[in-house]
Amino acid sequence: METILQTYYFYPNETVVWSLMIVLYPFISGMVAGTFITGALSKAFGIAYLEPIFKPALVASVSFLCFATLPLMLHLEQPTRAAYIFITPHLTSAMSGFGYIYMGFLVLVIVMIWYAFRPNFVAKASSGGLKGVFYKLICLGVTKISKASYEHDQKVIKALAVIGIPFACILTGYVGFVFAAVKTNMWWSSALTPVVFILSAMVCGLAFTIILYHVHAKLTKTAVSSDCVRGLVRYLWGFLLFAITLELLELLHLAYYETDYWSIIREMLEGNLAMSYWGAQVVVGGVIPLLLLSYILFVNVSERTRSMLAYFSSFLLILQVFSMRWNVVIGGQLLSKTYLGVQEWNLEIGGREGLVAGVMVVLAPVVLLAILRKWLLTDPEVRPGSI
């Protein structure tokens, strides 16, 4: 193999163009898709033990969905021109379709939420004053629910879940494809990238749902269903295993080919990205939770231990997925297009794409979720007979 790293060189225009906001864009999109699929599983496949997390996961999904484009808007040099992507889409671009996919999915999730919470809205529509008017408007004037219409709603929810699961995969896989379509960046340009994005979206969606379920149960002083937690952990273990395997296979593939590019990838993974890749993504966020989840699944543990370890592992897994997004987005730009060097880059604290703005972007959907949880998830379950 020719020794090429005798020199260190970047083109003078090279810099990290996509920073924290573009890390958050696939992270939040993944959260949208992951939580949606987690919630929809119970309806699409009739998995009864996952029923308790259907509504929390759906509300989490819409909370993240509302802010999925915020990092993009903060990143754009010309955010006021963002609508051009709808008005004059350039269809050869992998990016041009995102707006349509996003809007389509947004409509689907809102319709699904409406159907899922319609009995609650109808129940509240009978109250007087402005509140009653508000709920009458939301119910589109229909203030009664019969057994037949309830069953019809459940059928629609099932249909939306069946359509929504592949739609969510397209949403997050498509974000992966935006990176994979950059032909000259070997760190991104792989057919596996969209698949890895889908799997890691499932990991963070399941992990977030486990956390949300525990927090919600604590706040409403209700019991956590151990069957539900066990089921979520089983899915989480499986998706995590696939995600880690594919991530490492991709790396192994690059290493085995020993192209010019591998020299700088190796240098990056041993240097600038060592902590976030080996430390955060592989060990702390990957291997440790995998071991913990295996322990929960294959060793007979008490319900309390299972819940605690699942809850703790979920935080580590969200860190894993965030690190993975970071390593993909930032890592791909640290590698010089000359194949002759790895850039130094530090995240700025202030500014439109700095750490403070990033924290706010991450907190925004969590705050919305807290509001929606209070509004939608604290009412008792309403059935046709009770209205």
Partner 1 sequence: MTELSRRSFIVTTSAAAMSCGLASYALAGAGEEHTYEFMVDPSKCIGCIHCVKACILENDVPEHNFRTWIERYTFKKDQTFIVESPNGGLDGFGEPDVDPKDIKKAVFIPKLCNQCDNTPCLQVCPVGATYMGPEGLIHIDSEHCIGCGYCIQSCPYGARFYNHETGAADKCDWCYHRISKGMVPACVEVCPTEARRFSIDGSDPLIASEKNEGNTRGLRQSIGTEPKLAYLGLEEKVR
Under the rule (CB under 8 A), what is the footprint of partner 1?
2-4, 6-7, 9-15, 17-18, 72, 75-79, 81-82, 84-85, 88-90, 92-96, 178, 181-185, 333, 337-340
**Smallest distance from partner 1 to CB 325, Å:** 16
Radius of gyration of the chain (CA): 23
Torsion of Cα atoms, 51 then 56 then 58 then 64, to 10°: -150
**Smallest distance from partner 1 to CB 181, Å:** 7
| Cβ-based nearer residue to partner 1, 296 or 329 | 329
DSSP string, 83-143: THHHHS--TTSTTTTHHHHHHHHHHHHHHHHHHHHHHHHHHHHTS-HHHHHHHHHHTTT--
| Cβ-based nearer residue to partner 1, 184 or 302 | 184
| Cβ-based nearer residue to partner 1, 12 or 141 | 12
| Cβ-based nearer residue to partner 1, 67 or 179 | 179
**Smallest distance from partner 1 to CB 85, Å:** 5
339 contacts 263 by C-beta, under 8 angstroms: yes
| Cβ-based nearer residue to partner 1, 82 or 371 | 82
| Cβ-based nearer residue to partner 1, 7 or 346 | 7
CA–CA distance from 130 to each of 118, 123, 155 (Å)? Answer: 18, 15, 32
Query: What does the alpha-carbon distance between residue 196 and residue 194 come to, in Å, rounded to a whole number?
Result: 5
DSSP β-bridge partners for residue 42: none
| Cβ-based nearer residue to partner 1, 77 or 381 | 77
CA angle 62, 66, 71 (to 5 degrees): 135
- CA neighbor of 198 nearest in space, from 78, 33, 313: 33
- CA neighbor of 269 nearest in space, from 281, 259, 260: 281
**Single-letter amino acid, residue 381:** E
By CB neighbour count within 10 A (0-12 exposed, 13-18 middle, 19+ buried), where does 137 fall?
A: exposed
Query: What does the alpha-carbon distance between residue 359 and residue 161 come to, in Å, rounded to a whole number?
Result: 31
**Smallest distance from partner 1 to CB 343, Å:** 12
| Cβ-based nearer residue to partner 1, 74 or 293 | 74
Tokens of 290: 């995998």
| Cβ-based nearer residue to partner 1, 5 or 288 | 5
Place of tokens 């051009």: 84
**Smallest distance from partner 1 to CB 350, Å:** 16
**Smallest distance from partner 1 to CB 338, Å:** 5
**Smallest distance from partner 1 to CB 328, Å:** 13
**Smallest distance from partner 1 to CB 268, Å:** 17
**Smallest distance from partner 1 to CB 120, Å:** 40
